[in-house]
């Protein structure tokens, strides 16, 4: 499976420390290699996207959009607390639609 990161995903990765970057990359590899749906399906305005836990003690979420069996788009990565990552993902998706 091919994973295409957005610019927001790349920027968010650079803000993480090295150990969490490694954990995120491992999770992305798991998502890419899994034939079953990895992560939790999201609802509301993020319907069609999924969220996977990662990072130290699972504090981070990777929000991604599986477009087909061979292609997925990595929307963003960030802390789950207070819905920060989901608000950022919604903003990125709206920017991509324009």
* Count of CB atoms situated within 10 Å of the CB of 68: 8
Strand ranges, E, within 12-95 = 40-41, 50-54, 60-66, 71-79
What is the Cα gyration radius of the chain?
A: 12
The structure tokens 């990072």 sit at 55
Local structure of residue 69 (DSSP, 8 states)? S
Q: Is the pLDDT of residue 79 over 80?
A: yes
Q: How far is CA 63 from CA 1, 82, 97, in A?
A: 16, 15, 17
| Per-residue pLDDT, 35 | 67
Mean pLDDT of 89-94: 94
* Count of CB atoms situated within 10 Å of the CB of 69: 8
Q: Is the pLDDT of residue 17 over 90?
A: yes
How confident is the prediction for the chain on average, in pLDDT?
A: 92
pTM summary value:
0.92
Q: Is the pLDDT of residue 74 over 90?
A: yes
């Amino acid at each position: 499976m091919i994973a295409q990161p957005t610019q927001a995903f790349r920027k968010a990765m650079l803000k993480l420390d090295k150990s969490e970057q490694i954990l995120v990359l491992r999770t992305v590899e798991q998502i890419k290699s899994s034939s079953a749906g990895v992560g939790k399906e999201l609802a509301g305005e993020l319907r069609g996207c999924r969220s996977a836990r990662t990072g130290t003690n699972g504090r981070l979420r990777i929000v991604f959009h599986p477009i087909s069996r061979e292609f997925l788009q990595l929307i963003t990565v960030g802390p789950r607390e207070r819905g920060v990552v989901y608000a950022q993902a919604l903003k990125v998706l709206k920017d991509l639609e324009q």
